[in-house]
Chain A
Amino acid sequence: MSEALKTSDIVLDPYSIPLDSKFNVAQGPLFEHDAHWAYFDRLRAEAPVHYCDESEFGAYWSVTRYKDIMEVDTNHEVFSSEGGIVVADQDEDFELPMFIAMDPPTHDDQRRVVSPVVQPINLAKLEGTIRSRAAALLDDLPLGEEIDWVDRISIELTTQMLATLFDFPFEDRRKLTRWSDVATADEDMGIVESEDQRRAELFECLTTFTEIFKERQVKPGNNDLITMLAHGEATRDMLERPMEFLGNLILLIVGGNDTTRNSISGGVLALNQHPAEYEKLRKNPALITSMVPEIIRWQTPLAHMRRRAKVDTVLNGQSIKAGDKVVMWYVSGNRDAEAIEKPYEFIIDRAKPRQHLSFGFGIHRCMGNRLAEMQLRVVWEEIMKRFDFIEVVGEPVRIRSSFVKGYATLPVVLHPKK
């Protein structure tokens, strides 16, 4: 019932409304109903740098072509991340500073502290653990009956990984999932009852990690993120700035959780929608290497990132004023035929598959991009050893957000290898 009401709130056909300053793509329900594609097709073709002066998040520019997005993303002198990186502003009385939402030099100093954990050389050490955990999970799944792929695999696997990176008590790992969901929840998504509840849960996250931080100060763990923060020159005094500590925890939790989770689910859906590619994969599982970045492009697990102009500037002919919000729609740039051949097709052996926008570019480029690729590669290698077909047996429930682009549920039936 509520679903039907929500659908009636949005216009599914963007060509039925005028392309003026009320044309608004930052609507969660558009994404929930998978209805955003035509909106972005129209913007890319007719108004690639477009100003919307009325939305629940205030006025903002939409940048929708690959090339223009690249220009904004690589020009941090003009387009600042300070104060927030999503279209929604943070509540003034609950601001969470985090390095993704800072400019140099603080951004660089803090990022350098935690980035070694996800450098390729360290990832090799994690691969065995990821593989054995993925194998155990997959071996445990019931065959031939309907299960929810999101809950059983995507969430569980990424949560286990996150617990490993933080060296977080393994039996409490679903707390990480919960905090990740709570941190990105819009009020109408049904995840929390109220803003007060949201803040209370995030403070519980802060309290829990403050204890762990204090422990690791005296007894360093084994190359985990909290130990790195507790001993890094730019971050070891972070407990004195609790909101900044919480902000960076949320950044690392969401960054390593939602994104990979939704790419694991997205890959299953993409292969079901492109059966010829699934067949290609069965014949040649070595294609997993190039399929993984293609899944990440196809899914684009974060639909956008936001900047704010520091000075008056011109982008593709449009005059942007100092202070204006500028939203880079990665989800649109990843379907730009000027930059990507046959962008709506899922092609597991694309040439240059890593040339997509899902990780962003420039100094804020996703720090964990090689970890994400490694997780997906290992999961798919283990899947292909066991299953002939992961059959999607119903419509997925999509998340009502114009930021986190993903799935709440994805019903599947597993068919074992013959």
Chain B
Amino acid sequence: MPKITYIQFDGTESSVDANPGTTVMNAALDNLVPGIDADCGGECSCATCHVLVDESWMAKVGQPSVAEESMLDLNPDRQPNSRLSCQIPVTEDLDGLVVNLPEFQY
């Protein structure tokens, strides 16, 4: 099972085992990882599951879609490695993924 690590803004780490086929957002919700509100339930339409993907994982995670980009772009503090975690499907390839939770989401 792919392991995903979420690092809170204060440095606290939570590692969870995620089922392939779920999303990085749902894996956080299922394991009560704080900092991801996910108001819309995974529809790419509220931007409350914002994560900063660890630089070394950027290539594997890939770029946001046009729809995701339009949500990210509303946030003046978005970064080049910003993604909405509801739009990152969990695959075996992402075993070991590290994402950071941004300060502005608290």
Contact = CB atoms under 8 A, between A and B. Distances in A.
B103 A362 contact: no
Contacts of B70: 76, 104, 108, 363
A70 B74 contact: no
A111 interface: yes
A371 B44 CA distance: 21
A120 B101 CA distance: 14
B88 interface: no
Contacts of A104: 70
A121 B74 contact: no
B104 A74 contact: no
Contacts of A355: 39-41
Contact of B45 (A70, A112, A121, A354): A70
A203 interface: no
Given A111-B74, A119-B104, A362 B45 contact: yes
B75 interface: yes
Contacts of B77: 116, 119
A361 B43 contact: yes
B39 A121 contact: no
A248 to B, nearest CB: 16
B35 to A, nearest CB: 11
Contacts of A283: none
Contacts of A111: 74
Q: Which of A76, A115, A363 has most B Cβ within 10 Å?
A: A363
Nearest to A105: B73
Interface in A91-105: 104
Nearest to B78: A112
A294 interface: no
Interface string A95-136: 000000000100010011001100111000000000000000
B73 to A, nearest CB: 6
Contacts of B71: 362-363
Interface residues of A, number: 22
Interface string B19-42: 000000000000000000101110
Interface in B34-61: 37, 39-41, 43-47
Contacts of B103: 121
Nearest to B71: A363
Given A121-B103, A362-B71, 12 more contacts: A74-B44, A112-B74, A112-B76, A115-B74, A116-B76, A120-B105, A121-B104, A355-B40, A355-B41, A361-B45, A362-B45, A363-B71
Interface of B: 37, 39-41, 43-47, 67, 70-71, 73-77, 103-106
30 contacts: A70-B43, A70-B45, A74-B44, A76-B70, A108-B70, A108-B73, A108-B74, A112-B74, A112-B76, A116-B76, A116-B77, A119-B104, A120-B106, A121-B103, A121-B104, A121-B106, A352-B41, A354-B37, A354-B39, A355-B40, A355-B41, A359-B39, A361-B43, A361-B46, A362-B45, A362-B71, A363-B70, A363-B74, A365-B46, A369-B39
